[in-house]
Amino acid sequence: MRTRLHTLERRSFIRTAGTATLAAIGGPLTHTAVAAAKSQRAESLVKLLYQNLDERQRKAVCFPWNHIDKQRGLLRTRIENNWRITKPIIGSGFFSKDQQELIRAIFEGMTNPEWHTRFDKQLKDDVGGFGKKQSIAIFGEPGSGNFEFVLTSRHMTLRCDGDSAGHVAFGGPILYAHEGERFYERPDHKNNVFWPQAVEANKLYRILDPRHQELALVTEGMPSEELIGFKGVKGSFHGCPVSELAGNQKVELQRILKMLLEPFRQSDRKEALKCLATQGGLDNCHLAFYKEGDLGNDGIYDNWRLEGPSFVWYFRGRPHVHVWVNIADNPSVKLNSHQDSVGV
């Protein structure tokens, strides 16, 4: 285990971390040092974590930027609904308690503080809590150019990359999901922390005029959930063109998009909106609701999709909520996704 940061590495980190960290980080990674560093950007915390991994740990969770896995392909771009990107579990003895605390701080830095309680409920329900059945990977060397941190578990794939992949929002495709009270949720999805997003989307559907409701409602051919690859400007999209909606309906869709982005940190929200604007904004998107999988046949559609040339936000609510997100500023980015149909 490394017990001290190299002097130059410490100075480099301290320049970005501020005087509070300067006082705390003079030696080994400690609870005090982690506490002092928590106010920093997630990427700065990834660098601190990387510097304090020993060779055994690095061998298990650190990879070159373009590492190819024999089964999973380009590993840093991989997304699944139920997986661990590496074998070591965050909450195991593989990581020290201070390293575990630092990983938690990175997670909190990637997400909106107002959502931490809801994320913790999701994690408690689905994997037993933060650090349980979760793993991490670091691609590239933080501070030396391209690098990315990836956090995975059942129902979660999150990334931070310091804009290393500048044309891709969130550092690549992400997934958030929740099994609220039961695997096969009831139509009201009671206690599912993400279901309110679908409730608001369905409110918009109900204020569409009959012709646009007919366009938006897809009665057959709901795509498999992992199919979130980009179709480009000439793609064929399900649903109603947003450009045809009335002004008040477009305002409502903007509000819903803001709600979708809310769980994540401000910098990622801005980057996602910037990527969307590059491809023409919401007016170049389509909004689809799927009759298939309407739990209870209540007309509150559990599965819906907002999609543009290089923008996909796919909300799948049956048997419980999975949300797959893929956003870039151009459609050339290739998808590397997989659905685990057994352990969803």
How many structural domains does the chain have?
Answer: 2
Residue 215: which domain range? 195-338
In a domain, 180, yes or no: no
User: Is 141 domain-assigned?
Assistant: yes
* Closest listed residue to residue 62, CA positions, set 139, 172, 158: 139
Compute the average pLDDT of residues 44-72: 97
Average pLDDT, the chain: 90
Q: What is the DSSP string of 222-267?
A: PPPTT------TT----SEEGGGS-HHHHHHHHHHHHHHHTTB-HH
CA torsion sign for 81, 85, 87, 93 is negative
Percentage of the residues of the chain whose pLDDT score is greater than 70 = 86
Kindly report, residue by residue over 109-119, the tens digit of the pLDDT.
Answer: 999 999 999 99
Q: Are residues 326 and 203 in the same domain?
A: yes
Q: Is the dihedral of CA 272, 273, 279, 285 positive or negative?
A: positive
Q: Is residue 12 in some structural domain?
A: no
Which pLDDT score is estimated for 181? 85
Answer whether residue 179 is part of any domain. no
- Read off the pLDDT of residues 124-164 as tens digits, 9 standing for 90 and up: 999 999 999 999 999 999 988 889 999 999 999 999 987 66
pLDDT digits (tens, 9 = 90+) for 72-84: 999 999 999 999 9
**Does a structural domain hold residue 178?**
no
Q: Which of 162, 183, 218 is the last residue of a domain?
A: 162
For 23-54, give the DSSP string: HH-SSS--HHHHHHHTTS-HHHHHHHHHHT--
158 & 203 share domain: no
